[in-house]
Amino acid sequence: MSLDSRLERILAGKPARHRDAVAASRLLLHTATLLERRVDEALAPFALHMREYLALHLLSDSVHEPLRPSDLGVSLDATRTQVTRLLDGLEKKSLLVRTQDVQDRRSLQLALTPAGTQLLQRCVPVVQQVYLQAWACLGEQATQLLQQQLRQVHSGLQQPQAPGEATDSAHANIRANA
């Protein structure tokens, strides 16, 4: 069953406002999954996945300020367990090292190894090409506009909701659509 036919079934009979919001949300999530799959395919010859690549990229940007595992978790939207597994894998591949933080012995600092730096340099153009190809169907102006719109949605989702706000609006919508 295609994504469009699933959406049609889910959204049948719903008000246009709800159909558009749900369809846009589902398409965004599905698009992100497809993009990650494309990046993973492009990184396969390097024996990396997208999250590993992103971690290496973040580490390469942290030359002046050491990156801690908790910072990496925030940047990757990953749990502590996921970050630990990710770091274990990258360390096993000799792409990064974990060291004690000299100022806080309870913390670790992360750094790329020379092998990690070299691998990242080879991967960056490959991943950038995937990104360019993914957005080429829109053109530069539409891509810039969509980026601005996604930033607005992202910002709105980061705002804390007032207690009961989601529940109250959901109940009001149910009553209005009953």
Residues 117-165: pLDDT tens digits?
A: 999 999 999 999 999 999 999 999 999 999 999 999 999 998 887 766 6
- Site of tokens 């909701």: 161
pTM: 0.79
Residues 96 and 110: beta-carbon distance below 8 Å? yes
Phi, psi of 97 (to 5 degrees): -130, 145
Dihedral over alpha carbons 147, 63, 68, 113 (to 10 degrees): 110
Dihedral over alpha carbons 54, 57, 61, 63 (to 10 degrees): 120
C-alpha–C-alpha distance, residues 151 and 41, integer Å: 27
